[in-house]
Amino acid sequence: MKHIFNQYSKNETVILIKNEIDFQRTGNQSDNPTKYYTIVWNRGNNQKVLIDNIAYDFTSNTILPIMMSQTFKFERSQDLVIWQFNREFYCVVDHDSEVGCVGFVFYGPSQTMFIKLYEEDIIKMQKLLEVFEDEFESEEDIKGGMLRMLLVRLIINITRLAKKQYLGTEEVNEEKFNLIRQFNMLVERHFRKEHQVSFYANLLHKSPKTVANTFSLYNKKTPLQTIHERIITEAKRLFYFTDKSVKEIADDLGFEDAAHFSKFFKNYTSINPSELRKTSQQSN
């Protein structure tokens, strides 16, 4: 079952999917003009999910937020409830201040978050899902506004749970935590060309040392690791889902030459780009 709301004049789209077989997003998403933030609720048994070709355990009654840039494939998508929306319908960057810490689940301390639902949370999620379904079936003129309001409520509820599970509390220093989110958002925009912490620190009007000290409070990774891991993730996606050469991928990711890129890639993955390309071709 799939509900879709489109407001074509503004290119706004929000989607609700339940019990669909073979729901996945693979391929070269950077070349895909239709990009969606995705929130997935596993209502079935434990299963596996591939996120950017890395396997994770997706346990029962767990929420998984997925970035627009990430690819995914589920073991049993028929057990899932999925919300998808594009930037035009609701941009978690532009509206971050409107709902407080909404950016946490997409730009927080971990690029891939699994948020456990307990009995009380499951009841709330089920009630919210029912309201979503009723609103999708509505023919009222305010349908788009109502769906947007429900989406904000969904993201806020998930964010509260995520902060408790990943930070141990809802109470954090918002100024410092906002710095991490803003850093992560900037990395998402600029990582293909800018690889130095100083570039992002300058945009944030902070010193690199201040950024590093803030990361040490709320993040398991350093700022430089965050940049490098985003580059590696994108490189792997290009190797798996495109026919681009090592040199072309190096150019796409802001490296002056293929040799420098290959050395960087092997330092992080313990495998040469050419070896990964062979592996990806054999698995296809």
pLDDT at 93: 56
Q: Domain boundaries in the chain? A: 2-167, 174-283
Considering only 64-68, 179-183, 225-229, which range has the smallest mean pLDDT? 179-183
- Whether pLDDT at 103 is above 90: no
Q: Do domains 2-167 and 174-283 have the same CATH topology?
A: no
> 167 or 216: which carries more pLDDT confidence?
216
pLDDT at 179: 84
pLDDT at 280: 65
pLDDT at 31: 44
Q: Are 203 and 194 in contact (CB under 8 A)?
A: no
Q: How high does pLDDT run on average in the chain?
A: 85
- Specify which of 69-73, 102-106, 124-128 reaches the highest per-range mean pLDDT: 124-128
- Whether pLDDT at 94 is above 70: no
pLDDT at 168: 64
**Domain 174-283, classified CATH 1.10.10.60, yes or no:** yes
Q: Are 67 and 52 in contact (CB under 8 A)?
A: no
Q: Are 21 and 48 in contact (CB under 8 A)?
A: no
Mind listing the pLDDT tens digit for each residue in 200-241? Answer: 999 999 999 999 998 887 766 899 999 999 999 889 888 888
Range 12-35 average pLDDT: 74
Tell me the three state secondary structure of residue 142: coil
- Whether pLDDT at 248 is above 80: yes
**Domain 2-167, classified CATH 2.60.120, yes or no:** yes
pLDDT at 165: 83
Can you tell me the distance from the alpha carbon of 228 to that of 236, in angstroms, rounded to the nearest whole number? 12
Sequence-ordered list of residues with C-beta below 8 angstroms from that of 73, at least 6 positions apart, any chain: 24, 25, 26, 49, 50
Q: Give 30-37's long-range contacts (Cβ < 8 A, gap of 24+).
A: 30/69, 34/86, 35/68, 35/69, 35/86, 35/87, 36/68, 36/84, 36/85, 36/86, 37/65, 37/66, 37/67, 37/68, 37/84, 37/85, 37/86, 37/87, 37/92, 37/106
- Whether pLDDT at 19 is above 70: yes
Tell me the three state secondary structure of residue 52: coil
